[in-house]
Amino acid sequence: MSSEKENVMDMKSINYRGPAIEEVDSISPTNNAGLIDGSFSGSPYSSDSRSSGSSTIEPVSDSTYHAKIGKPIYKRIVDSFKPMDLEDLGIDTEGMTQLEKSVIATSQSRLVRDLKTYHLIAISLGGSIGTGLFVGSGNALAYGGPASMVIGYFIVCCALLTVINALGELSVQFPINGSFNTFFSRFIDPSWGFTLAIMYYLSWAISYPSELIAAAMTIQYWNTSINSAVWVAIVWVVVSSINFFGVKGYGDVEFVLTIIKVVAVVGFLIVGICITCGVGDQGYIGGKYWHDPGAFNHGFKGVCSVFISAAFSMGGLELCALAAAETKNPRKALPKAVKQTFWRLTIFYFLTSIVIGCLVPYTNPNLLDGSGIAASPFVIAINAGGIKVLPHIMNAVIIAAVISVGNSSVFGASRTLAALAAQGMIPKIFGYIDRKGRPLVAIVITSLIGLLGFLVVNKNEEAVFTWFFAVCSLASFFIWSMINVTHLRWRWALDAQGRSKDEIIFRSPFGVVGSFAGLAVLIFIIATEIWVSLYPIGSTGASVETFWQDCLSLPLLLAIWAAHKTYYRTWNRLWVKLEDIDLDSGRREISLEDLKQELADEREALHSKPFYYRVYHFFC
């Protein structure tokens, strides 16, 4: 047996007395993944030979292996439903705190690692290019004007630049189940981990039925005779079924849908530039609408109103980190996905906002009063240009976008719920992962929440969902802010424990300074959103109803955090001490010295490259 397999990672902050578990393929010789009698099926190691305090793992003989898989089928089915405890992995949990147990549990994920780089890019883009861009951008244009929309999107993109790189650094270092939701517990405090994970789950879970309704309304562009509930049911079956095909099936579908959306956005940009330059019924437009009715609407408040639309549109960029535990080689795949996803998304939103601002005046009544895709600035611009067939094509693209975002909603929500269960913060049944690596119970629960889409037949459907979304209105900004805080505490913990930055696999190009700057921008955005919600555009005084609709997530977040603190009686500790933060669990590399040497070799090789290549590598 090689020395690498016998090496045990030094655990500084917890009493880890079991073996270091090396990465194991999830596909066994019988094409089964998961645990049989507490051992990894398909693994050459058995838990039977593990004992507390032992650092060796004996190989399983062929006869033992076949004896295990040769059990009666009913017995294997029953065993497959048994929950995985930490003791099953040879880990002695005696004396561990709940935080220490949750760190170990999430680092030993049984999710199947079938995702590749192109899957991660597609998942991030797919979750971010949806109705928020195709339809919601019209709302931003109407309230803020073209210049406000460009400025608002640019500011949010700058904040996200620091967030996604900080998150990439953490997720490459610790590709664990639940990813950044788990980091909140690990690097800040379990109460914050629980609170933000619940908010993140609600964001995706509530988004799912709203996307189903959006799909039904979009389809009615062609057919108004069939009840909308029928289309909700059809799309619900399609989206829910996709997630039952496993993570690779989800990734492949998302890849195809993302290609459709990207091609549509690029095509619209080309057509939009042509219309602006004079092709179409309107003749040459140029920057006419930037002068009349103007570049800004409602002044500074108009700019602030764009922030919430930008957050709704770009939410989902962090999904590539959530999928880290299901990625074959996160060390190579995640940095590329993080960098490329951000720049592509920024280009799409930045260029699209400029083109839309040139084609549609913010005074167009359909932006606020239109129903379904009639409110889409994409469709308004194409119709105004006199191009007859493109609105139908754009309608089909919006349907693909809705299915994609609905798909991402189930994926993001189910992984978050499973991670909460793995940490012991909710009942274990929610974290059940079957032999195909699917968080089955979490997928089922999230799919059932999607049935709220049948509220489409209710006359008060819009009011109901307004209050549903109030629950998670500012959630994205809170989560992005805490990601930057987590990155800062990770770096501070390295210093506090005397560890070298040379062991960081992927470093955020902007480092600690970037996280501070991003945090400052996000705090500013949250403050302005509270102000605009309390004193909304067009109001002569304070509006209590608008404030609660836009900011209900703030008191809810504080209430959940306080309730968790009170229930677990942890008011004596507001955050985990830097000296106690676990800096090792969840790594896939076992030899720290070998890792440092490999990273040093890679940096030396990069330094020998031409300047232009180093610049490209820095950003992409």
What are the domain boundaries of the chain?
3-96, 117-589
C-alpha–C-alpha distance, residues 577 and 452, integer Å: 42
What is the pLDDT at residue 188?
92
**Closest C-alpha among 527, 529, 507, 510 to residue 518:** 510
Give me the sign of the Cα torsion angle 167, 414, 242, 449. negative
String of DSSP letters for 136-173: HHHHHHHHHHHHHHHHHHHHHHHHHHHHHHHHHHHHHH
Alpha carbon 276 to its chain centroid, in Å, reads 35
Distance from C-alpha of 484 to C-alpha of 166, rounded to nearest angstrom: 6
Flag residues of the chain having pLDDT under 50: 1-69, 80-89
Residue 370 has a pLDDT of 63
> For 227, left (φ over 0), alpha (ψ -120 to 50), or beta?
beta
Spatial separation of the C-alpha atoms in residues 9 and 587, rounded to whole Å: 9
* CB half-sphere exposure, 477, CA atoms < 13 A: 25
Q: Would you state the pLDDT for residue 67? A: 44
Beta carbons within 8 Å of 10's beta carbon, 6+ residues apart = 584, 592
Phi first, then psi, for residue 115 (nearest 5°) are: -85, 145
SS3 318: coil
| pLDDT for residue 20 | 37
Q: Are 257 and 325 in contact (CB under 8 A)?
A: no
C-alpha to C-alpha distance for 317 and 126, rounded to whole angstroms: 9
Q: What is the pLDDT of residue 330?
A: 67
Model pLDDT, residue 131 = 73
Q: Name the residue among 142, 113, 93, 133 with its Cα closest to residue 42.
A: 113
Task: Tell me how far apart the alpha carbons of residues 588 and 604 are, in angstroms, rounded to a whole number.
Answer: 23
> Does the N-terminal peptide bond of residue 19 adopt cis geometry, omega within 30 degrees of 0?
no
User: Alpha-carbon distance 67 to 63, whole Å?
Assistant: 6
Let me know: does 505 contact 599? Beta carbons within 8 Å: yes
Fold for domain 117-589?
Amino acid/polyamine transporter I (1.20.1740)
* Residue 523 burial (C-beta neighbours within 10 Å; 0-12, 13-18, 19+): middle
Phi, psi of 52 (to 5 degrees): -60, 125
